[in-house]
Structure 1
């Protein structure tokens, strides 16, 4: 592999790892082999317990509808979607997204991720709204480690629980960083003020950390039990497992890493990561509602309107 190609590949991997995932471009095949081709008439059936939107160029695109709330209501289908990066979608995938009737797409990726993984491919007339959530400085650290091709340095940076600890720090910034809070709040307001005829989709690179936190908070606001919201969060591991394994194999084969399993804590979502954000939330705001009101600036009227918008028949 040439020096230039190594630098590019390293940048692609690191830009995604900066938020705990890996992009469709990173040293591995398209996610097409890990997913089923989109259905001809609709990307999924409402009766299915699995809410995945089946695409060839993305693996973790899901409808947040269908979950039951504490009081027996149901989150409406076809209103809010969560996703991973949309830069590698096929023409057929773009057509599938077009059938969803999306009115807005929000991209939580930082600029360097967009640079290496590509801007979203979206239906005509739809442009993603950039709303970057910080990577907490992980990009620069991993650029040094992976780019060095030095297994000792990589072990020093990622081994011995260091990767897990860094991920917990990233999750804490979802609560402590004012800019992050502002961007999550903007997204909830966009959903609240949206129209049923114009669904909203938000995404990051792997659709699991920033997107996972946003989805967990939204489901809890809607009255979905914490265990159910946590299950939605953890489901990213199932959707991404095959593809992420291919990425690790590609890194080993390329010689960039002797032990790519060091990346597993960065590729996965874990209850400990979610727990770190929730513990920070309780410490700073006392409860989820404190985080919503004081941290995100959402009053009771807004939260009631949000629930009315997304819950019911």
Structure 2
């Protein structure tokens, strides 16, 4: 007897969650790239994307136009607002902490949209960057960020996505919003759209049954979309005399598989598996995960 679509989805999800390190074999690499990573071009944000388009283990596809991931939306232009209006968003979730909102500005959104604030701690990342730049001292900046210290700090930031109860609750609330039957399109974002946003995107794609290889590819794509913007920022700091070696910031501007692996290892250590992290750590019922699949996988 052929499996039902729900059973196929559940099988795909189980495979993705249990075999996180396995190479993807469901479809040729070229087929995934042809439909994946749908970037939304904006003038005031560089890392807004449609999470849809990926093929799953079952050969189904993650629906487009339902879930969007992004970076800070405080500098959107009028033209950007027109573009955003075309997405017909019902909800925008802001993972930034108050310090970030104060520095970069509140979201600028189409009329009628008010962002839902769900601050996920950056574990002091922004404060560290500001302290290092503000010192103007190359020796102190090297002591704070050099010698692998910046990368180690980022790995610890990712671990807090798993260890911090408030962080887990805010990620879980957003998953429930997305899974709710009949919910409109939703966009979630942080400052750079790469760490907090990248972690949730990885989880969503994994639940949908997207092979690990391509969920990681989506995670790492932030480096491509942010490269020019981040390089310009580093050059500006150097020209202004604030940093003699602004490349010290690169480990904090980038996403790296070692950061993602730090969160995954923490989830496995504390909960035994990523599936148990979803159900026990985030408190998501299997029914909610099934609803998420039904909504997002076509």
Aligned partner of 1:269 among 255, 265, 274: 255
The alignment status of 1:168 with 2:160, answered yes or no, reads: no
Kindly indicate whether the alpha-carbon contact (under 8 Å) linking 2:93 and 2:189 is maintained by their aligned counterparts in 1: yes
**1:183 aligned residue:** 170
The Cα of 1:48 is off from its aligned counterpart by 5.2
1-side partners of 2:222 and 2:206: how far apart? 18
2:90 pairs with 1:139: no
Q: CA deviation digits over 1:238-297, x for unaligned, max 9?
A: 001011000000000111110000000000000000010011011011111100000000
Structure 1 runs not aligned, ≥5 long: 1-46
CA distance in 1, matches of 2:81, 2:120: 25
| Distance of 1:305 and 1:194 partners within structure 2 | 7
Cα RMSD (Å): 1.1
TM-score, L = length of structure 2: 0.87
Deviations 1:175-229 (A, max 9, x none): 0100000000000000011536x20000001100000000000100111111110
Deviation of 1:138 (Å): 2.9
Residue of structure 2 aligned with 1:129, choices 99, 116, 126: 116
| 2:286 aligned to which of 291, 296, 300 | 300
| Number of the residue aligned with 2:276 | 290
- Separation in 1 of the partners of 2:181 and 2:103? 31
Q: Which of 44, 58, 69 is 1:82 aligned to? A: 69
Contact 2:97 2:120 in 1 (8 A): yes
Alignment of 1:92-241 (within 5 A): 92-193=79-180, 195=182, 198-241=184-227
Partner of 1:26: none
1:281 aligns with 2:267: yes
Q: Provide the rounded CA distance (Å) in 2 between the counterparts of 1:143 and 1:91.
A: 30
Give the structure 1 partner of residue 55 of structure 2. Answer: 68
Superposition deviation, residue 144 in structure 1: 2.7
Does the 8 Å contact 2:208/2:293 carry over to 1?
Answer: yes
Tell me how far apart the structure 2 counterparts of residues 68 and 142 of structure 1 sit (CA, whole Å): 38
TM-score relative to the length of structure 1: 0.83
Q: CA deviation at 1:139?
A: 3.4
CA distance in 2, matches of 1:296, 1:111: 23
Shift of 1:140: 3.4
